[in-house]
Amino acid sequence: MSHEIKPLKELVLDGTKDGRITIGLIEEPYGADSEIVVSIGISLKSNSDEPDWKVHIPKANIDDVIEALIEAKKVI
């Protein structure tokens, strides 16, 4: 089972001194032949080894998550 993250993008976490949002891909996150996922990690301190929060989004759910985030942005 691989948990190596292939980094795609790192963003500054607004409202923190040095927090980060990291976005990457994990191949076979749940064992052999499991589907690749997008991993989003939130770290309150950029030098932390492990994110404070993380979510894995399967490819089949990405469009729905993006749509939900767009809707959320409209109301905040």
Q: CA triplet 24, 29, 34: central angle to 5 degrees?
A: 120
Average pLDDT, the chain: 93
Q: Give the predicted TM-score (pTM) of the model.
A: 0.86
Confidence of residue 66 (pLDDT cuts 50, 70, 90): very high
pLDDT at residue 67 is higher than 90: yes
Mean pLDDT of 33-56: 92
Are the beta carbons of 3 and 14 closer than 8 angstroms? no
- pLDDT value at position 1? 47
Confidence of residue 36 (pLDDT cuts 50, 70, 90): very high
